[in-house]
Amino acid sequence: MNPTTRRTFLKQAVTATTTLAGLGLPSRAAERQAAKAALAPRLPWYRRTLRWGQTNITEIDPDRYDIAWWRKHWKRTQTQGVIINAGGIVAYYPSRVPLHHQAQRLGGRDLFGELCRAAHDDGLAVFARMDSNRAHEEFYQAHPDWFAIDMTGKPHRAADLFITCVNGPYYEEHIPAILREIAERYHPEGFTDNSWSGLGRGTICYCENCRKRFRERAGHDIPREKNWNDPAYREWIRWNYDRRLEIWDLNNRVTRAAGGPDCIWAGMNSGSVSGQCQSFRDYKEICRRADIIMLDHQARTDATGFQHNGEAGKLIHGLLGWDKLIPESMAMYQAGGPTFRLASKPEPEARLWMLDGIAGGLQPWWHYIGAYHEDRRMYRTAESVYRWHKDHEEFLINRQPIASVGVVWSQQNTDFFGRDDAEALVELPWRGVMQALIRARIPYLPLHADHIDRDAGQFSLLVLPNVGALSDGQVASVRRFVERGGGLMATGETSLFNEWGDPRPDFALADLLGAHVVDARHASDEARRKKNASDTAHTYLRLSPEKRAQVDGPQTGTEPAIKGERHQVLRGFEETDILPFGGVLGPLRVDAGAQVLATFVPSFPIYPPETAWMREPKTDVPGLILKTTTAGGRVAFLPADLDRRFARNNLPDHGNLLASMIRWAAKDDIPLAVEGAGLIDCHVYRQPGRLILHLVNLTSAAAWRQPIHELIPVGPLQVRVRLPPGVRRSRARFLVSGKEVPTFAKAGWNRFEVKSILDHEVIVIG
């Protein structure tokens, strides 16, 4: 950063303090803010630029980019940093790097330079945006050996562009030359890159550079085809991951050498773990290196909902640390299903995506395609969220999440257990557990399987949603957690495979789960396992013990009455002896001392109705097993894939049973309780001396079908929250409605009421 820019930053920090004081915040907060502002200049730009914006420039924009208008927009939205298209596929400045394609209507204009200067003059940080994974035909003709090719030598193409190979000079010479040119000429604060990681997992490149390098590493040729069971293919996967990390490191060396130690290269990353797998981006390793994560995760899908944004924030912060920033590109245009680049995304839809992301610790980054729009409604969407964000930014960063439930994941599980069916095998079980937690308002944190030992102290319970592939080391971490008295909930095929997805003879956690594989052939029968995961069968779970003689309903007279109290996990199901299931279960050997709470009822006909009776009403195939460990912890094992079923079929029975198991296994050690109707995504944090609670109202007619048309208020909600050590009870301050309400203390809990929430509320205590 040049001295002028640094002065402007300083000026901004002072202005921010004055404004906050002017808003009538308690003087303590203003003082704290002032103290922070005084410290701020010592933080590098990537740690203090909280609100971002991007006008993604099209090739005809050099003709029509109204910089003065956009500067007003930056100001109006309190934007502190901008992402400006610089180079890569298309250059927006007169580049001297050979074959660096100039934007169609650049015509000698230095658009990037003008924008960069304008941003710097306004005190904004600049990320020069690159897009470096393909090139025009002219480039291909000049250097055909720099491009990815198939086995027959044919280049891989995307529309009329040619895809460059990550192992060629394009990445080692051409892109570094561009980075150096931009860094030296324009001094952007850093670089980001839209699609830096090259060809995805779906395609194998057989260019000379790839062949040579792979042979040097592996001692044999690149695999001719995908085969997850082939060690050469697995090696190829790992090699590809390593290569992306090399590119990450190389680009950072180049930009820091040319632009100074803070001139970072940050790439871009996805909010979807399987997206990262498809692109060979090792999230854990990237976060170990990164100073900031630029998150390209623009909109919800119907399957994952707004809540996925809060989840993504927490998952990535879990790897990156909570002291760093994760700006997220948030589409102001109709993105997703379907995409209309030039039409406004309905405001409530864009807004809830932003707010749920902010609740999960993400920073907002508005994103438009093109510099001119006939649908001007999109210009208004970000403003109110950004203004609110600026007014309350001290509560939205540098905070630690509070949760007693850790949900375990790993990228290697998505790769080697999920393979080509990660959606059914990994994502649906994960999503089902997430949704059960959110419905039940149970705060959770995604926990990487390699971080169990590191982070275990804060959790009462680990949930492993069908985490099939676990290494011996990861299994040992889970064991240590349970040996210390921690609770465990596992579903489906958890721990039945090693880190490569190779079957184990029995669950690696069998003794903890209280169940053993009877037929080891099950795990190797990949086709059958996939079919079971994908199909919905007409099957049920029978809850035990049954209470037939005690119920109000027709009696068959043929079955002996079984008396017995239902386990607390089955609370709420008193009026049924069965639950709809949909999956298929095989036999397991259950340890003495473990309790089977549900058994499998095999499939029988649905049609015609005359045939719809249970052929085998009762089996001893376990669907739900509970046990208590010698250390006093509780273990709930759910061989039945109700997590996957819940994500797919949305039956409330499945979500309720999952939540009930989680509460039981956590011994009700949940720091938050929210009562009142609605789908509310809850996130709890602490800062020194205070607690911060986000409640995002996802209740909507369009909760499962985008876009949302209108916001529907919920309330009143009765909230009970356990204050962490160091936080004293105080009135609850509402950062959205501006109200303050009294709180009531009871046995370490703090209770208060939230009258109504339209989109979100953020409550501060302490």
Tokens of 379: 């210009």
Range in contact with Zn ion (rule: CB under 5 A) among 15-23, 73-81, 160-168, 534-542? 160-168
- Please report how close the Cβ of residue 204 comes to Zn ion at its closest, in angstroms: 9
Instruction: Fill in the DSSP letter of residue 156.
Output: P
Residues 293 and 269 sit within 8 Å (Cβ to Cβ): yes
CB of 144 to Zn ion, least distance (A): 12
Task: State the nearest-atom distance from the C-beta of 276 to Zn ion, in Å.
Answer: 21
Smallest gap from Cβ 99 to Zn ion, in A, equals: 18
Site for Zn ion in 359-378 (CB under 5 A): none
3-state secondary structure of 672: strand
Minimal distance, residue 100 CB to Zn ion, in Å: 21
Other CB atoms within a 10 A radius of the CB of residue 484 amount to 12
Distances (CA, A) of 288 to 190, 276, 297: 18, 15, 20
Contact with Zn ion (CB under 5 A): which of 124, 210, 369, 624? 210
Rg over CA atoms, the chain = 28
Nearer of residues 216 and 374 to Zn ion, judged by Cβ: 216
165 lines the binding site for Zn ion (CB under 5 A):
yes
Q: State which residue, 167 or 192, has the beta carbon closest to Zn ion.
A: 167
Contact 617, 544 (CB under 8 A): no
Asked whether position 358 contacts Zn ion by CB under 5 A, the answer is no
- Asked if 570 and 597 count as a contact pair (C-beta separation under 8 A), the reply is yes
Query: Which is nearer to Zn ion, 116 or 207 (by Cβ)?
Result: 207
Nearest-angstrom CA–CA distance, 278 and 610: 48
Q: How far is the CB of 280 from Zn ion (least distance, A)?
A: 13
Q: Which is nearer to Zn ion, 186 or 241 (CB)?
A: 241
Considering beta carbons, is residue 145 or 184 the nearer one to Zn ion? 145
In sequence order, the β-bridge partners of residue 596 are: 625
Distance CA 40, CA 38 (A): 6
Nearer to Zn ion, 80 or 164 (CB): 164
The smaller minimum CB distance to Zn ion, of residues 210 and 371, is found at 210
User: H/E element holding 210?
Assistant: helix 208-218
207 lies in the site for Zn ion, by CB under 5 A? yes
Stretch that binds Zn ion, among 81-89, 208-216, 252-260, 317-325 (CB under 5 A): 208-216
* Smaller CB separation from Zn ion, 154 or 376: 154
Complex with Zn ion: residue 208 or 535, whichever CB lies closer: 208
Task: Tell me the closest approach of the beta carbon of residue 209 to Zn ion, in angstroms.
Answer: 5
| Nearest approach, Cβ of residue 757 and Zn ion (Å) | 52
- Rounded least distance, CB 205 to Zn ion, Å: 3
Q: What share of the chain is helix, strand, coil (3-state, %, to 5)?
A: 35, 20, 40
User: CB 208 → Zn ion: shortest distance, Å?
Assistant: 8
Q: Which residues of 299-334 are buried (b: 16+ CB within 10 A; e: fewer)?
A: bbeeebbbbbbbbbbbbbbbbbeeebbbbbbbbbbb
User: Using CB under 5 A, which of the segments 6-14, 165-173, 546-554, 579-587 binds Zn ion?
Assistant: 165-173
Cα separation of 365 and 82, whole Å? 8
Q: Give the interface size with Zn ion as a residue count (CB under 5 A).
A: 5
Closer Cβ to Zn ion, 207 or 665, answer by number: 207
| Neighbouring C-beta atoms of residue 190, cutoff 10 Å | 27
Q: Closer to Zn ion by CB, 138 or 208: give it.
A: 208
CA pair distance 474, 384, nearest whole angstrom: 45
Candidate segments 99-107, 120-128, 163-171, 358-366, binder of Zn ion by CB under 5 A: 163-171
Minimum CB distance to Zn ion, residue 215 (Å): 13
Element of type H or E holding 654:
helix 652-665
Closest approach of Cβ 168 to Zn ion, in Å?
6
In the complex, minimum distance from the CB of residue 247 to Zn ion, in angstroms, rounded to a whole number: 13
Contact 498, 469 (CB under 8 A): yes
Minimum CB–partner distance for residue 155 and Zn ion (Å):
10
Alpha carbon 450 to its chain centroid, in Å, reads: 17
Q: How far is the CB of 164 from Zn ion (least distance, A)?
A: 9
Judge whether 46 and 40 are in contact, CB under 8 Å. Answer: no
User: Six-digit token pair at 492?
Assistant: 């489906």
- Kindly identify the residues of this chain, within the stretch 556-595, that bind Zn ion according to CB under 5 A: none
- The contact mask relative to Zn ion for 176-205 (x = CB under 5 A, - = no) is -----------------------------x
Tokens coding 52: 């971002």
CB of 147 to Zn ion, least distance (A): 8
Backbone φ, ψ for residue 266 (5° rounding): -115, 0
Q: Which residue lies nearer to Zn ion by CB, 65 or 139?
A: 139
First to last CA, the chain: 37
Q: At what angle do helices 3-22 and 27-39 cross, to 10 degrees?
A: 170
Alpha-carbon distances of 231 from 227, 503, 521, rounded to whole Å:
9, 15, 21
Q: Reduce the DSSP state of residue 48 to 3 states and report it.
A: helix
Residue 85 or 167: which CB sits closer to Zn ion?
167
Q: Which is nearer to Zn ion, 210 or 665 (CB)?
A: 210
Beta carbons of 482 and 441 less than 8 angstroms apart: no
Which among 322, 242, 324, 235 has a CA at the least distance from the CA of 282? 242
Minimum CB separation of residue 500 from Zn ion in Å reads 24
Nearest CB to Zn ion, comparing residues 167 and 240: 167
Kindly indicate which of the ranges 113-121, 162-170, 505-513, 543-551 contains the residues binding Zn ion, using the contact rule CB under 5 A. 162-170
HSE-up of residue 474 (Cα within 13 Å, Cβ side):
25
Closer by beta carbon to Zn ion, 167 or else 750: 167
Residue range at the interface with Zn ion (CB under 5 A); choices 161-169, 241-249, 252-260, 747-755: 161-169
- Cβ proximity to Zn ion, 150 vs 710, nearer residue: 150
Q: Which stretch binds Zn ion (CB under 5 A): 164-172, 256-264, 439-447, 719-727?
A: 164-172
Q: Give, to the nearest 10 degrees, the angle between helix 347-359 and helix 307-320.
A: 30
- One DSSP character per residue, 357-380 reads HHHTTPEEEEEEESS--S-TTHHH
Q: Is 323 strand, coil or helix?
A: coil
Segment interacting with Zn ion, rule: CB under 5 A, options 20-28, 57-65, 167-175, 438-446 = 167-175
Distance CA 719, CA 185 (A): 55
Q: Are 715 and 675 in contact (CB under 8 A)?
A: no
The β-bridge relationship of strands 264-265 and 190-193 is parallel
Stretch that binds Zn ion, among 67-75, 210-218, 522-530, 631-639 (CB under 5 A): 210-218
Using the rule CB under 5 A, is 665 a contact of Zn ion? Answer: no
| Footprint on this chain of Zn ion (rule: CB under 5 A) | 165, 167, 205, 207, 210
